[in-house]
Amino acid sequence: MNRPVITGYWLNLACFLNERGIPLVMWCNLMHVKRIKELDDNLQTKNDTKDALVITRLAKDGRYSHPRLPKETEADLRVGATLRGNLTDELSQIKNKLIRWIDRYFPEFRIVFPSFGKMALAALECTPFPSDVAAQEPEEVLALYRQVEGLKLPQKLKVKQLIEQAHDSIGLTEDQSMVRVEIRRFRKYRKPDGLKIFFWQPLDGLNH
């Protein structure tokens, strides 16, 4: 059976046919068909009849490939690799959003916390604005950070530095009510190891 590669639905058909011993071949991609179809009439016209003729000729001349269907561990690894790539992209987007948010409302924050560790994320969750820490004592801020899950021993020196930076902050002070809602949306990405998502850990069943 000859099948064009257009969408991901071909994989379902390929597995179905493979289980029944029916071979499936895939002809070359759409760009190849687009270029080859001009050989007969030297025209760039496109229609279903012409495409069907070109595809049939490609299959007749043996210009096709056999799909490779991964199984068991290999199939899991392929899905895991795709998942890791998607999570890496999502992580990058979240980091960029956080950096943009900090640059607008608390640019001095990155002087104290150059990276997004556990304490940095706790500070963003509890005291995202300079006004949240500028009028407080270090012990009060420490007590607030200790309530955050996964952070039992926040650094007092970091808190003191954050308070000092907050006194002279040039961050925006408008629209803070809705901005607090925005920063709280990032709470779901906070993990005990900061912004390290689970794909850094071995996948269950694939670490042997």
What's the rounded Cα separation, in Å, for the pair 109 and 170? 11
Which one, of 90, 112, 89, 109, lies nearest residue 101 by Cα? 109
Tokens of 23: 């071979």
CB 120 within 8 A of CB 75: no
Place of tokens 């907050």: 166
Per DSSP, helices labelled H in 61-185 are: 72-105, 109-112, 118-126, 130-134, 138-145, 156-167, 176-184
What's the rounded Cα separation, in Å, for the pair 153 and 136? 19
pLDDT, tens digit, 9 for 90 and up, residues 26-59? 765 667 677 777 777 777 777 778 877 887 787 7
What's the rounded Cα separation, in Å, for the pair 160 and 73? 51
CB 16 within 8 A of CB 38: no
Res. 141 pLDDT band, cuts 50 70 90: very high
What's the rounded Cα separation, in Å, for the pair 85 and 197? 12
Q: Output the pTM of the full model.
A: 0.62
What's the rounded Cα separation, in Å, for the pair 117 and 63? 54
What's the rounded Cα separation, in Å, for the pair 171 and 132? 13
Per DSSP, helices labelled H in 168-201 are: 176-184
What's the rounded Cα separation, in Å, for the pair 34 and 45? 10
Beta strand residue intervals within 28-120, DSSP E: 64-65
Beta bridge partners of 25: 2
What's the rounded Cα separation, in Å, for the pair 141 and 121? 14
pLDDT, tens digit, 9 for 90 and up, residues 191-205? 544 444 433 344 444
State the chain's mean pLDDT as an integer: 79
What's the rounded Cα separation, in Å, for the pair 196 and 88? 10
What percent of the chain stands above pLDDT 70?
82
pLDDT, tens digit, 9 for 90 and up, residues 90-113? 888 888 988 999 999 999 999 999
